[in-house]
Chain A
Amino acid sequence: MLSEFLQFLFSGVTLGATYALVALGFAIIFNASHVINFAQGEFVMIGGMATVALLGAGAPMPLAMLAAILLAATAGLLLEKFAVEPARGASVVTLIIITIGASIALRGVAQLVWGKQFHALPSFSGDVPLQVLGATLLPQSLWVLGVSAAVVVALFGFFNRTLLGKAILAASYNRDAAQLVGINVKFVLFLSFGLSGALGAVAGILVAPITFTHFEIGIMLGLKGFAAAILGGLGNGLGAVVGGLIVGIAEAMGAGYISSEYKDAIAFVLILLVLFVRPSGLFGRRGTERV
């Protein structure tokens, strides 16, 4: 009983940490630009696929990872520069379609360069499972949790302690006011896409040894990350992390106790139920319309 529950919990938290990273990517871009970036999942895909490809080309693991993260960050920067920036002031739907177009194009490139096969990335430190109260825990899960936690702490430090981080936050609260006090809002936007790209890649590299990777792996990861970001309340960093964990744990528990076939539906059932009760997510500001 307990061991079974623990088993589901481990896999849920591992999944949840990944979703949290993806959700954070959504939140950072949303805060800076009020754009929902439907290509977020493709950053995740790029992280995993590029690492696999570079390893295959003979690069050492740390170098391959670093290069993959930089590649995804670059993709983010390019997306901002050549697609989001020129479309400033377009409607929400138009921006959604632009990022969806970008996601299709990125998948197209990935399929051209890396093919349509599934790829496996070796675990960072072996595949010998640890036994915890009768449940097994993969060493890679510990990597996922540890790195995710470190990234979250680093991000919160960045946004609350550094001048640049505070500038990004300021720009997200009030663009015009930030511009007035001398913050280069354009640069902040540019940077936030790069940062989101890097975050997505980190998530992609961490899960690749567990889930395998594929040029279409980003679609579901991206959508579930979006669900997690909305669950926590769009633009709320802590909400994104909590939302990610809730979605991950709900998915693992649902798959374990209810139906493994409906695993992929659980995140969306959950988000619908939450939105019906709280239309701005769990931690979203409940806006009162000013008229």
Chain B
Amino acid sequence: MRFLLRPKTGGLAILAAVIALLPLVLDNAFHFEIAITIGFNAIVCVGLNLLIGYAGQISLGHAAFVGLGAYGAGVLTASHGWDPLAAVGAASIGTGLLAFVVARPILRLQGHYLAMATLGLGIIIAIVLNIEDQITGGPDGMLVPPFSAFGWEPSDERQWYWLVGGFLWISVWLALNLIGSPVGRALRAVHGSEVAAEVVGVDTTHYKVLIFTVSAVLASLVGSLSAFYGMFITPNIASFFNSIEFVVMVVLGGMASTFGAVVGAAILTLLPQALTVLEDYEHLIFGLILMGVMIFMPRGLLPTLAGLRWRRRR
């Protein structure tokens, strides 16, 4: 049982247990839907955390990649009759290529300039999805046919739950592998000091471009799958507000903590559900909670809680 105490294997075991046991307490389709949404958001955040938390590069436009994945898959299947799996693949390759091409000039920028550029990119993509209504259906959205892979079609919420849960677990596993490898160290070195990373031979541009592309592809995959799951998409999926929400999830859970990103995604997906009872006060309270958490726990939830526990043990 010692392996449970190691952060990586222990964390993966806990995550597997949570995913496996959660259906026992989910007692209707709506609960499953929320759990699935948490899973989708968490996967995007695991990727985004590699970029923001580990490599130290902010992106205020990642929802756009989710949007490209969703519309790529949606348009290819609905309007061109593609096989869903092929459409998912094509959308993620297309999104990855776009991210790869823009990453080089964008990631030369630092700090607020980088924030501006990623924000701008995201807004431009969201506007294109809104305006090109011949292809995307515009603000009214578009219908997406059901998903199927190798003849299997997820028929109910429960099956989707296992699909997304498995996808989440694998993403976390891959991210943890990456972080513990020379590639992960190089990413953290880019965050720590770019010039010092360069002089020991870390090609900082290469790693920034790499991780930006990887996180974009992951976002695109989530976008595609969520489009099939919801069977209806609107350009709202790529909105600036959604981009911000992903960043907030990452930072709220704790930057440079993969499990933190998952926790952040869970909390921020559940919070608005809980706040709907406040009706008109929803946004006000949501904003205040956001500010409060960031002011009092600037390092995010998980690292702060871990720090508390560590201090008590001493």
Contacts and interface: CB of A to CB of B under 8 A. Distances in A.
Interface of A: 30, 36, 83, 86-87, 90-94, 96-98, 100-109, 111-112, 219, 223, 226-227, 230, 234, 261-262, 264-265, 267-269, 271-272, 275-276, 279-281, 289, 291
A227 B120 contact: yes
B180 interface: no
B13 interface: no
Given A111-B283, A226-B116, A230-B112, A101 B127 contact: no
14 contacts: A87-B295, A101-B287, A104-B287, A105-B286, A108-B282, A108-B285, A109-B284, A112-B281, A227-B120, A265-B124, A271-B117, A272-B120, A279-B110, A289-B195
The 5 closest A-B pairs by CB, nearest first: A105-B287, A108-B284, A101-B290, A108-B283, A104-B287
Nearest to B288: A105
Given A105-B288, A265-B127, A280 B295 contact: no
B237 to A, nearest CB: 17
Nearest to A112: B280
- The A contact surface, by secondary structure, is helix
A264 B246 CA distance: 23
B307 interface: no
B58 to A, nearest CB: 6
Contact of A265 (B128, B247, B288): B128
Nearest to B199: A291
Given A98-B291, A262-B131, A92 B111 contact: yes
Interface in B124-148: 124, 127-128, 131
Contact of B127 (A97, A262, A280): A262
A34 B295 CA distance: 16
A90 B111 contact: no
B291 A102 contact: yes
B286 A108 contact: yes
A223 B282 contact: no
A281 B112 contact: no
- The B contact surface, by secondary structure, is helix
B112 A234 contact: yes
B257 to A, nearest CB: 14
A226 B255 CA distance: 25
Interface residues of B, number: 45
Contact of B287 (A86, A106, A275, A280): A106
B228 interface: no
B98 to A, nearest CB: 13
Contacts of A275: 105-106, 109, 113, 116-117
A94 B298 contact: yes
Contacts of B248: 97, 100
B298 A91 contact: yes
Nearest to B284: A108
Contacts of A87: 294-295, 298
Contact of A269 (B124, B131, B285, B295): B124
Nearest to B111: A92
Nearest to A275: B117
B38 to A, nearest CB: 20
B109 A98 contact: no
